[in-house]
Amino acid sequence: MNAELIYFTDLKSPFAYLVMDDLLALEERYGVTFRWVHFTLHIPEFLGAVETRSENEWRKVKYAYMDARRLANRKGLTVLGPKKIFDSRPAGIGLTYAEEQGLLHAYARRTFEKFFHRELDPGVVEEVKAVLAEVGADTAGFDDWYTGEGAERHERERQLAIDMGVFGVPTFAIDGELFWGGDRLWMVEERLQQLAA
């Protein structure tokens, strides 16, 4: 299959966490690999700033986490709502560093687990390095990666997402066609079936 497959994620998104195993199973079924791109969500742009959120925006936030907990319960996972708005850019740069060492999935899974157990601030570089070390990454070069190539790649990939029209995660792209949300994974599978035929 020659299609360009991209998976846009954010390591602070409960819905990206909850779709991870389903995506990996889909990849295995079809013998494909999605390129993971960390699209750091700027929550105030997406759901309003905490100080200025409308009543309706607060309802959206509460409902989204109620849904996330329901889905997590079905999967035997824990999703504790965050106590503040987090900047996941450092964790996203950590994702590309882990990918360079063949540890993308292990790092993503552990980052999600720790974040949704309230054991990780994805915006604190030293905590990101600790997760990298925990999954077996050589962290000796991470500081340089974080301020150099990793930072540049993060910004390039975020701009790619914006240019493609990505506004939230999880989003799947197949040859530029976007599918937003884990509940659209069946459509992604349908498209993969069509491409494989």
The residues that are catalytic are 13
5-9 and 35-38 strand pairing: parallel
Task: Please give the structure tokens belonging to residue 193.
Answer: 């079936």
C-beta of residue 27 within 8 angstroms of C-beta of residue 33: yes
DSSP 3-state of 32:
coil
Residues shown for the chain: 197
Q: Cβ distance 172 to 15 under 8 Å? A: no
Separation of alpha carbons 104 and 70, rounded Å: 26
Taking residue 139's Cβ as centre, other Cβ atoms within 10 Å add up to 16
